[in-house]
């Protein structure tokens, strides 16, 4: 399967609709706090934690989840770097109404310095956008320079959150996953099936990625929770095979 580059491009308003802000419904804010807490516990230990965000298929809300996760960690006084590692269909900078270049790719090929490629969003939140779209994303992400860059950046941050393309479509996230401390798999109701989710898990495990848990997005719950049902029923949890069930159903 190929990335659908000709899929209708969401408007800026649509892109930003689910990014955390003052008007975000309470249930969604709480769901992200839960996700943050769960990730803090599942990556406990000293030093910076590098967390990869991916999904089985396209359009499952990976980038939205990555941005919100970074905002949520920063709100909790952590120093966070959000990296747009989706070099094919980058949207993180657009979701934050910023320029996407220069960024990661320019830094990797030596065309920009760290202070030119990185944006300071607030006191504890930094963005490394994707940069100029390259012809060879997998090679670039798998290159020694990328590994060195992550190790170098670890020294300056508490969390590095990396948005990536879908694992069942291209191998970019699989190439990056061994460099991370853990991977979060975003699964959207109506997009990923059980089969495609299992395929993604198999691929990630083969790449020796540590799957930290799942984020279920756009969940249409039968039962409305007060006035905040439907799309804000995010969930997070570990796999049942690891002896735990997902919480916040």
Ligand X SMILES: Nc1ncnc2c1ncn2[C@@H]1O[C@H](COP(=O)(O)OP(=O)(O)OP(=O)(O)O)[C@@H](O)[C@H]1O
Q: Which residues would be at the binding site for ligand X (CB under 6 A)?
A: 10, 14-15, 17-18, 55, 58-64, 86, 89, 91, 166, 217-218, 231
Binding partner of residue 230 among Mg ion, ligand X, none, CB under 5 to 8 Å per kind? none
Q: How far apart are CA 36 and CA 42, in angstroms?
A: 10
Q: Which is nearer to ligand X, 112 or 166 (CB)?
A: 166
Listed in sequence order, the residues at least 6 apart from 220 whose beta carbon sits closer than 8 Å to its beta carbon are 189, 190, 230, 231, 233
* Omega cis (within 30) before 102: yes
Fill in the DSSP letter of residue 6.
T
The stretch among 58-66, 69-77, 179-187, 203-211 that binds Mg ion (CB under 5 A) is: 58-66
DSSP-derived pairing of the beta strands 125-128 and 159-163: unpaired
Closest CA relative to residue 83, chosen from 138, 154, 6: 154
Binding partner of residue 55 among ligand X, Mg ion, none, CB under 5 to 8 Å per kind? ligand X
Q: Which is nearer to ligand X, 55 or 78 (CB)?
A: 55
Smallest separation (angstroms) from Mg ion to the CB of 189: 17
Binding partner of residue 61 among Mg ion, ligand X, none, CB under 5 to 8 Å per kind? ligand X
Smallest separation (angstroms) from Mg ion to the CB of 63: 3
* Residue 162 parent element (H or E): strand 159-163
Q: Does 63 bind Mg ion (CB under 5 A)?
A: yes
Smallest separation (angstroms) from ligand X to the CB of 17: 5
């Amino acid at each position: 399967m190929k990335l659908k580059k000709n899929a209708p491009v969401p408007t800026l308003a649509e892109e930003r609709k689910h990014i955390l802000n003052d008007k975000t419904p309470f249930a969604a804010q709480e769901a992200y706090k839960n996700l943050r807490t769960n990730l803090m516990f599942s990556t406990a230990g000293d030093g910076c934690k590098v967390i990869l965000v991916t999904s089985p298929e396209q359009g499952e809300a990976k980038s939205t989840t990555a941005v919100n996760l970074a905002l949520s960690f920063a709100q909790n006084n952590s120093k966070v770097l959000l990296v747009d590692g989706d070099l094919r269909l980058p949207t993180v900078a657009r979701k934050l109404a910023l320029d996407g270049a220069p960024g990661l790719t320019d830094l990797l090929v030596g065309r920009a310095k760290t202070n030119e490629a990185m944006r300071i969003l607030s006191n504890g939140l930094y963005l490394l956008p994707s940069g100029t779209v390259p012809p060879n994303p997998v090679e670039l992400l798998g290159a020694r320079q990328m590994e060195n860059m992550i190790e170098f950046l670890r020294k300056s941050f508490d969390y590095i959150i990396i948005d990536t393309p879908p694992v069942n479509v291209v191998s970019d996230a699989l190439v990056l996953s061994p460099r991370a401390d853990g991977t979060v798999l975003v699964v959207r109701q109506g997009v990923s099936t059980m089969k495609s989710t299992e395929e993604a898990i198999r691929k990630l495990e083969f790449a020796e990625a540590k799957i930290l848990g799942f984020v279920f997005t756009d969940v249409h719950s039968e039962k409305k929770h007060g006035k905040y049902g439907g799309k804000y029923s995010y969930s997070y949890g570990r796999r049942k095979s690891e002896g735990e069930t997902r919480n916040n159903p």
